Amino acid sequence: MTDLRVALIGYGVAGAFFHAPLISATPGLRLSAVVTRDPERAAEVTARYGARVVPDAGALWDTSGAADATDAVDADAAVDLVVIASPNRTHVPLARAALGAGLPVVVDKPLAATAGQARDLVALAQERGLMLTVFQNRRWDGDFLTLGRLIEAGELGEVTRLESRFERWRPVPKGGWRETGGAEEIPGLLYDLGSHLVDQALRLLGPVVDVYAECDVRRDGVSADDDVFVALSHAGGARSHLWAGALVPRLGPRFRVLGTRAGYLKYGLDVQEEQLRAGLTPASPGFGEEPEERWGTLGAGDDGRAVPTEPGGYAGFYPAVLACLRDGAPPPVEPEEVVRALVVLEAARLSAAERRVVTL
């Protein structure tokens, strides 16, 4: 079977370090076009992937579906899948345009600013019979996979509390829309790292009934939230406490998860982003494998043991996309799950603004 041709919109951090390497590492997919106006990024795309550089996403819709030899448009310019890794404010309009052109879509998180916008996209995809999925790659972090395995095996007993953090020490702002953009840009850590934190909490502990949040700006020259705390009460009785911060001089544990039998304690972030930024690919030896000194521990009281971290699984995302498109398998991330997470994020934003608990 011929490879599916993938168009990647955006070649910033998400496009260059995550999507492009993972797409190119997936048999059955070919990175055929990249949308960027930056000359240096365009040169890198051509040198590394041999992909066509397109200055505007609209050109993709004009060339989609041109595989038929009788079509007047050059078949080499056609695409079969669109991946949106452009700034947050463009996610909804670009996804709507791609779906309207009859193309399946992968969207980087956050899918949208509101659950209502996300529901409209889901409805459009269903109406058109097209795949819509979201790159919630942190579902395939090695530590999260390890935690899921431990819970599934009953090692923790009944989980009563999840503490989860994405914290960094970045006292000097980088600038750009993520830190200084207006509301229309969907900036700040609540929707950036919070999209992962909330998604993981829902995956592990199920639906949420109450949300409390604090969103602050701590650094000079920044206007979007860079210090976030979210507390969730789950329908099953467990509670999640979630942190995201850019001004954290002493980092807390990535996970502290407490159960009726044992707890899991883990420091340090998953290694895959670090490896991808360093130029490694899923084919590189040791990709996704965490060294023993970074493993978490499981135990209760004075008893504890190191738990090997599962290999990270980012490389499985695009094969799952391919299976969805070719074989009718479920998408790697069901968009309805993303809508539910956006409901929680909206409630968190309201809670922080009004300084109150929001009941869903």
pLDDT tens digits, 17-60: 999 999 999 999 999 999 999 999 999 999 999 999 999 999 99
In this structure, the answer to whether residues 127 and 151 fall within a common structural domain is no
Domain-embedded: residue 15: yes
In this structure, the answer to whether residues 353 and 278 fall within a common structural domain is yes
In this structure, the answer to whether residues 119 and 14 fall within a common structural domain is yes
Nearest to 5 by CA among 23, 32, 27: 32
pTM value is 0.94
Cα distance between residue 360 and residue 357, in whole Å: 10
Judged against a pLDDT cut of 90, whether residue 77 lies above it is answered with no
Nearest to 200 by CA among 243, 168, 169, 157: 243
Give the tens place of pLDDT for each residue, 213-222.
999 999 999 9
In this structure, the answer to whether residues 147 and 252 fall within a common structural domain is yes
In this structure, the answer to whether residues 148 and 121 fall within a common structural domain is no
The gap between the terminal CA atoms of the chain, to the nearest Å, is 47
Domain-embedded: residue 243: yes
Helices assigned H by DSSP within the chain: 13, 20-24, 39-49, 58-63, 91-100, 115-128, 142-152, 177-180, 193-205, 271-277, 317-327, 335-354
For 238-255, give one letter per residue: b (16+ CB within 10 A) or e. Answer: bbbbbbbbbbbeebebbb
CATH number at residue 90: 3.40.50.720
Cα distance between residue 32 and residue 43, in whole Å: 15
| Boundary (domain end) residue, out of 135, 154, 169 | 135
- CA gyration radius, the chain: 21
In this structure, the answer to whether residues 130 and 151 fall within a common structural domain is no
Q: How many CA atoms lie within 13 A of 36 on its CB side?
A: 24
Q: What is the pLDDT of residue 69?
A: 36
Helix (H, G, I), strand (E, B) or coil at 196: helix
Compute φ and ψ for 260, nearest 5 degrees: -75, -15
Q: What is the pLDDT of residue 1?
A: 78
Per-residue 3-state assignment (H helix, E strand, C coil) for 94-108: HHHHHHHCCCCEEEE
In this structure, the answer to whether residues 163 and 304 fall within a common structural domain is yes
In this structure, the answer to whether residues 350 and 252 fall within a common structural domain is yes
The region of weakest confidence among 70-74, 132-136, 233-237 is 70-74
Q: List the domain range (segments joined by +) for residue 121.
A: 4-135
In this structure, the answer to whether residues 127 and 152 fall within a common structural domain is no
Domain-embedded: residue 326: no
DSSP state of 12: S
The region of weakest confidence among 56-65, 79-88, 240-249 is 56-65
Confidence of residue 65 (pLDDT cuts 50, 70, 90): low
| Boundary (domain end) residue, out of 67, 101, 135 | 135
Domain-embedded: residue 327: no
Residue 318 near residue 18, CB atoms below 8 Å = no
Q: What is the pLDDT of residue 71?
A: 43
The letter for the amino acid at 230 is V
Q: What is the pLDDT of residue 66?
A: 44
Angle at 126 between CA 125 and CA 128, to 5 degrees: 65
Q: DSSP per residue over 140-186, as a string? A: G-HHHHHHHHHHHTTTT-SEEEEEEEEE-B--S---SHHHH--GGG-
Domain-embedded: residue 30: yes
CATH number at residue 233: 3.30.360.10
Residue 219 near residue 124, CB atoms below 8 Å = no
Judged against a pLDDT cut of 90, whether residue 197 lies above it is answered with yes
In this structure, the answer to whether residues 9 and 126 fall within a common structural domain is yes
> Per the omega criterion (within 30 degrees of 0), is the bond before 173 cis?
no
Domain-embedded: residue 31: yes
Domain-embedded: residue 10: yes
| Boundary (domain end) residue, out of 113, 135, 157 | 135
Domain count, the chain: 2
Domain-embedded: residue 322: no
Judged against a pLDDT cut of 70, whether residue 74 lies above it is answered with no
In this structure, the answer to whether residues 227 and 304 fall within a common structural domain is yes
Q: DSSP per residue over 251-274, as a string? A: ---SEEEEESS-EEEE-S--HHHH
In this structure, the answer to whether residues 171 and 247 fall within a common structural domain is yes
Judged against a pLDDT cut of 70, whether residue 113 lies above it is answered with yes
